[in-house]
């Protein structure tokens, strides 16, 4: 049964993806395309997902791009990877499905913030000349006396690949430009970051951080700003990275296919 449900999710992803291409060829409007895709999702039992309101653990999920800038081949393959690997990443990390889905939407926001969905000139230059970037960092380290920073790689500019990801998937820093690989690696990183944030909330008595605002503070761990969280100096409402990420997140609608009543423990 689980295999059948996963297959349906993948099949529906492909159907919707083909819809993107066909609608473009037929020059139909974005609104018309979205209306068709909404109907297709509803016909297959998918309903809108909302963080802290949807608590399904093993639901199949779909992420639907609603903005022209995220209706590209790279983004399609990235979000397809997020949906397709939900079950195995949940099993690997023992994370609840609702938390996975919340992080999946964040991953799309990070994809936009880090590389403009793989289209920024800065990203293309870094990926084309990783050796040159590393050489510049070595020179900077020599001049400043500070340690050499690792190169950020791939569509979501990850510095350190989670060990569980490298152990269980054929993913390394050299193939993070592959959208599916970037999706899996980003989810592994975010899942571990969420666990770290929860520990910090307890250890550092960060009572102002809770499930309602995880998306405000998790980016600090992603871009290396954990110290600001610990010192309580993080200001997500003023942070450009966080605000950009949340805008990009809003360009994606999230849907789930309910299987029955379930509960969510966010602690």
Q: Are 120 and 72 in contact (CB under 8 A)?
A: no
Helices 2-25 and 30-43 cross at an angle (nearest 10°) of: 160
Instruction: Quote the pLDDT of residue 27.
Output: 44
Mean pLDDT of the chain: 85
In the chain, where the domains are located = 2-118+154-257
Q: Bridge-partner residues for 252, per DSSP?
A: 65
Instruction: Quote the pLDDT of residue 95.
Output: 98
Choose among 37, 40, 22, 115: nearest CA to 75: 115
Instruction: Quote the pLDDT of residue 1.
Output: 47
Joined tokens for residue 39: 């109907």
Question: In this predicted model, what pLDDT tens digit does every residue of 149-171 receive, in sequence order?
Answer: 567 889 999 989 999 999 999 99
Count helices and strands (H / E) in the chain. Answer: 12, 3
Question: Residue 267 and residue 264: Cα distance in Å, rounded?
Answer: 9
This prediction has a pTM of: 0.83
């Amino acid at each position: 049964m689980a295999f059948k449900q996963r297959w349906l999710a993948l099949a529906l992803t492909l159907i919707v993806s083909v819809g993107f291409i066909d609608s473009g060829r037929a020059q139909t409007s974005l609104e018309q395309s979205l209306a068709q895709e909404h109907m297709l999702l509803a016909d297959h039992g998918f309903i809108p997902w909302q963080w802290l309101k949807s608590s399904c653990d093993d639901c199949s999920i779909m992420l639907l791009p609603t903005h022209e800038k995220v209706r590209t081949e790279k983004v399609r393959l990235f979000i397809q990877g997020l949906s397709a690997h939900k079950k195995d990443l949940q099993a690997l990390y023992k994370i609840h499905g609702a938390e996975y889905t919340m992080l999946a939407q964040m991953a799309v926001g990070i994809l936009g913030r880090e590389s403009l969905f793989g289209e920024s000139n800065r990203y293309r230059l870094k990926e084309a000349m990783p050796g040159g970037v590393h050489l510049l960092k070595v020179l900077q380290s020599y001049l400043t006396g500070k340690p050499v920073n690792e190169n950020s790689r791939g569509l979501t500019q990850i510095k350190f690949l989670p060990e569980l990801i490298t152990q269980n998937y054929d993913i390394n820093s050299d193939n993070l430009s592959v959208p599916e690989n970037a999706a899996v690696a980003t989810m592994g990183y975010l899942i571990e970051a969420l666990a770290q944030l929860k520990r910090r909330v307890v250890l550092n008595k960060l009572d102002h951080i809770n499930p309602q605002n995880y998306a405000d503070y998790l980016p600090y761990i992603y871009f290396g700003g954990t110290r600001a969280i610990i010192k309580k100096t993080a200001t997500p409402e003023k942070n450009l990275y966080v605000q950009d990420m949340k805008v990009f997140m809003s360009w994606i609608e999230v849907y789930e296919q309910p299987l029955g009543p379930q509960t969510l423990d966010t602690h």
